Amino acid sequence: MIPAGLTAYALLVAFGLPRPLVGASWTSRAPRLAISMWLAAAASVVATLILAPLLLIVPNHALGDLLVLLVQWCGWADHQLPVPTWTAPQAAGVAGILGVMARLGHAIAAVTLTQRRIRHRTHRDIRLAGRFHPTLDVVVLDHPQPSAFCLPGRDATVVLTAGALRTLPAAELRAVIAHERTHLRGRHHLILTGAAILDRAFGPVSLFEDMHGELRRLVELAADDGATRHCPRHTVAHAVLRLAAPPASALGMGSTAVHQRVLRLLTAQAPLGGPAVAARALLIAALLLTPLTVITMPALSDLGYHCA
């Protein structure tokens, strides 16, 4: 009963939530809140994927029994408990949980190992070829194409090309650096790595498929917002425009995301109001608490019964 209910809940979140969330316009006004909602939904579904088979293995009341045992041990109640035995649903539960763990473990290994190898090489290459700019606290690469990026990790750093230093006026340069530092401070690469792992592990599920692309967009908006705390919005917009200019070799990519990003900075929509934020925070809390509540409910009612 409870595993079935949990499964229905997981299906609802995994297939019902993504489309409205991708389509919603409030996510651009409150990117950090939207990031939290995606992460809460993902955590909720993953927890359910593990808890639902776990409930098949462990009898529904085991958790309640555990609580009762604890109470008995403390000498508060006296009650006989049944000894658990193995059944067919339990075998299915074991298979289910091993399946989920294997997929997740494989994806974690694949994504983090490749990432570590590439990051190690890029860090070393940039340390060797770049020059540290002490006043800006960035590494400068001697290359004409204007470009800026950050390398997250233990020795995180912001990298600018000499082309970017030449092209950007001082105010826009500050905007670019503030944007990149917001990425680093917010550990945005960890958010994207988590999304990449889940996408790889459970790719066909629309929640994880959509989350990956959507989080990439949202962390850029969040970093733009971070930059606007240091300089006017239109300065950030102009910096984005300047560095998005097609290179001489004309290898630019089509990107409606950049268009939206710049216009969002220029039109300055009002931030979400208090009630709207509260409603979304409530949904985030519900996503995080539902799996836990569902499995502890019988335990709590057991405890009430045994101790009555």
Partner 1 sequence: MVEQLGDLEAEIMDRVWSARGPMAVRDVRGLLDRPLAYTTVMTVMDRLFRKGWLARERSGRSYRYQPALSRSAYTARLMSEVLSGAEDRGLTLLHFVETMNAAEYESLRSAVQWHEGQRRRGGDDDGTPTA
Gap between the Cα atoms of 202 and 178, Å rounded: 34
Contact between 137 and partner 1 by CB under 8 A: the answer reads no
Q: Which residue in 51, 87, 80, 76 sits closest to 298, CA to CA?
A: 51
Gap between the Cα atoms of 35 and 164, Å rounded: 30
Please state the closest distance from residue 216 (CB atom) to partner 1, in A.
Answer: 5
Query: Among residue numbers 245 through 264, which ones bind partner 1 (CB under 8 A)?
Result: 245-247, 250-256, 258-259, 261-263
Query: Among residue numbers 107 through 126, which ones bind partner 1 (CB under 8 A)?
Result: 111, 114-115, 118-119, 122, 124-126
Instruction: Decide whether 238 or 280 has the Cβ nearer to partner 1.
Output: 238
Strands 157-161 and 138-141: parallel
Please state the closest distance from residue 1 (CB atom) to partner 1, in A.
Answer: 41
Candidate list 147, 206, 290, 296; residue touching partner 1; CB under 8 A: 147
Gap between the Cα atoms of 227 and 236, Å rounded: 7
Instruction: Confirm if 151 and 189 have CB atoms less than 8 A apart.
Output: no
Q: Which residue has the tokens 């997250």?
A: 152
Gap between the Cα atoms of 155 and 171, Å rounded: 26
Residue 304 token pair:
């009430």
Candidate list 128, 166, 275, 308; residue touching partner 1; CB under 8 A: 128
Instruction: Decide whether 48 or 167 has the Cβ nearer to partner 1.
Output: 167
Helix (H, G, I), strand (E, B) or coil at 98: helix
Instruction: Decide whether 63 or 148 has the Cβ nearer to partner 1.
Output: 148
Q: Which residues bind partner 1 (CB under 8 A)?
A: 111, 114-115, 118-119, 122, 124-129, 131, 141-143, 145, 147-152, 155, 159, 161, 176, 179-180, 183, 188-189, 192-193, 196, 216, 219-220, 223, 232-234, 237-241, 243-247, 250-256, 258-259, 261-263, 266-268
